[in-house]
Amino acid sequence: MAQAKTEKKQQIPVVIDGKDITVEEGTTVLEAARMIGVHIPTLCHHDDLCAHTLKQGKALDKKGKKAGDETYKDLTLDHATTGAAATSGNCRMCIVEVEGQRTLQASCIMPIDKPLKIRTTSAAIRHARRNVLELMMSEHFGDCTACLRNGNCELQKLCAEYGVREDWFGRPVEPLYDMPDERNIIVRDMNKCIMCRRCIKTCALYQGVYALTPDEKGEHSGISTFMDKEMMEAWCINCGQCVNRCPTGALTERDDTREVWDAIEDPDKIVVIQTAPAPRAAIGESFGCEPGTPLTFQLNTALRRCGFDKVFDTTFSADLTIMEEGTELIKRLYAVLVNGESADALPQFTSCSPGWIKFIEHFHPEYLPKLSSAKSPQQMMGALVKTYLAEKNGWDPDKIVSVSLMPCTAKKFEADREEMDSSGFRDIDYALTTREVARMIKQAGLDLPNLEKEEFDHPFGIPSGAGIIFAATGGVMEAALRTVLEIVTGDDVENLFENANITPVRGFEGARVIELPVEKVGPVPDILKHLVPDFEWLKGARLKVGVAHGTWNATRVIEDIKAGGPFSECHFIEFMACPGGCLGGGGQPIPTSREIRSARARAVYGEDMAYELRKSHENEDVLRVYREFLTDGPCGHRSHELLHTHYHSRK
């Protein structure tokens, strides 16, 4: 049967500032200008949010591929990268002159459908752009020096470039809107909003949450939540993706740095901090480094100089998470495949992304029993710091202040959850974003990239490559497979995948399913003998796992499960709330884009390869904790008490 020919788009010649270029029909003027290195300013366009096209997710496309000797299936869901025209071209900063047209045109939404001659700079354009900025500033209330985005504000930068130094249209002397409640995880200040609507597009079309919406029209227009509720009361998942795309300080994270400084300066407090791998691959961007510059060990030095008493590595508790979550998976498989219990427990969903947890609680609560009961690495570390470490060092847990450096604004919400206190103390007292810690380091007068390197503190300081790759989408799954496959088969995972790199689960595709045959089994290791007698029941099985990142893709996966599609056949699925995984988290340095996330991913996988230890079950720090403290092993009574929680038991 002859296949239908794909219709080729017409090639159209365009002249931009005297430069000739040929582009596909439908390319915007802004895109064409960027192709030849011509800069056009914009405040509403964002590379992650294509302004002029509307793509819907394609149906699941099943493709057989080869990865060494392993066959797997790649199910790709296209991301909703877009928006409708009603939310595009709002700022008017990207205006250009088009020969033959009377008025200036917004280049971000003007498709090229015929030969054009375009000018991107002229007296008329310059004056118009400056007028736009002056009008924006006429409604912009607040002291720029006190704003969290001071020095990294797109509006501030353009005002400086276009010489907006006088208030020709006046400035508000009082706030036009109510001042924000700074108890919110995501702080929304409409007094700084320029109505670009990036946040609406991000929340709706990028994440599929729809927590933000346009409000009223004309001079009364604004951006609001449903019934104008506070962000803490709205159906917001605290992922912070809106914050990462806001051009001003209208959206920020709750700033906890003052409280942390107070704790550091209190001589009666023992202040410890753990650092996650994703911020370590990104924090350099706040100090002028290229994206993907890892500063793991310079960061240790900076944090000690800031006054933290101990600096621990979250890869330790990531490895601990793999031990607990991987063991839980084996238990669920045994219950279903051997004991004949209900298959409703499968597929097991990962539980280390708090934005994903809040998403499933809001939108798909019927699937809460599928969540792993394991806490996230942040919370596991916090629980052990105030129990195991306190006992080991003779510290009063009440005097310990446990801080985390995380790429994620939702980690603040997770730390605040009422059930995160199984030790009798809060697991985590303060969760700081990458941006907050960068500010603290600058306040301390430290030049992070040029500091000497220092190691982590023990007993939570052995770095593991498996823990490092938690930062990238597919990383939790790869770390779990490195351990589960090796424990079950009794064979080195390097014999299955070169250098233990399980590449089928890597990449930025929206979602995918991978099949891994279990062709042989080994003996049950001592640490798991309390759970299963042998692995013979897994011999010949095909382990099916899935990976999805971004909650828009999570929705597609849930719908596929409901429809009995390929994801319903999975045994284990990794979900991350943020595009790209933690390295694209809402607390990471601004700006972000696909290229920046890719650079951070390269840093993460490069650091993984640099470590001698690359499997969670070989981390001696983790094994020591099981020998000395969690003596009944993974998923034992004590570990369940401290390291697990049951989200589905909450109303």
pLDDT digits (tens, 9 = 90+) for 168-177: 888 888 988 8
How far apart are the C-alpha atoms of 522 and 490, rounded to whole Å?
Answer: 4
Tens of pLDDT, residue by residue over 528-575, are 998 899 999 999 999 999 999 999 999 999 999 999 999 999 999 999
pLDDT score of 17: 96
Q: How far apart are CA 136 and CA 132, in angstroms?
A: 6
Who has greater pLDDT, 217 or 187?
A: 187
What does the pLDDT read at residue 469?
97
| Full 3-state SS string of 185-249 | CEEECHHHCCCCCHHHHHHHHHCCCCCCEEECCHHHCEEECHHHCCCCCCCCCCCCHHHHHCCCC
Q: Would the pLDDT of 55 be above 80?
A: no
**Calpha distance 474→506 (Å, rounded):** 5
Beta bridge partners of residue 404, listed in sequence order: 274, 431
Helix, strand and coil percent figures for the chain, each rounded to 5 = 40, 15, 45
Nearest to 48 by CA among 508, 632, 375, 468: 508
Mean model confidence pLDDT for the chain: 90
Instruction: Give the whole-angstrom CA distance, residue 617 versus residue 475.
Output: 16
Q: Please answer whether residues 457 and 312 qualify as being in contact, where contact means their C-beta atoms are separated by less than 8 angstroms.
A: yes
Return the CATH class of domain 316-379+468-649: alpha beta
CATH 3.40.50.1780 fits 257-313+396-450, yes or no: yes
DSSP 3-state of 75:
strand
* CATH top class, domain 11-40+92-172: alpha beta
Q: Hey, where are the domains in the chain?
A: 11-40+92-172, 257-313+396-450, 316-379+468-649
pTM of the predicted structure, to 2 decimals: 0.92
Q: What are the catalytic residues?
A: 325, 328, 352, 372, 411, 414, 419, 582
- pLDDT for 7 equals 65
Res. 6 pLDDT band, cuts 50 70 90:
low
Per-residue pLDDT tens over the stretch 304-325: 999 999 999 999 999 999 999 9
Residue 218 — pLDDT band, cuts 50, 70, 90? confident
As a whole number, mean pLDDT of residues 96-102 equals 96
Query: What are the CA-CA distances from residue 494 to residues 215, 482, 491, 499, 500 (Å)?
Result: 56, 9, 8, 5, 5
565-589 residue pLDDT tens: 999 999 999 999 999 999 999 999 9
Range 385-401 average pLDDT: 97
Confidence bin at 50 (pLDDT 50/70/90): low
Q: What local confidence, expressed as pLDDT, does residue 170 receive?
A: 85
User: Does residue 138 carry a pLDDT above 90?
Assistant: yes
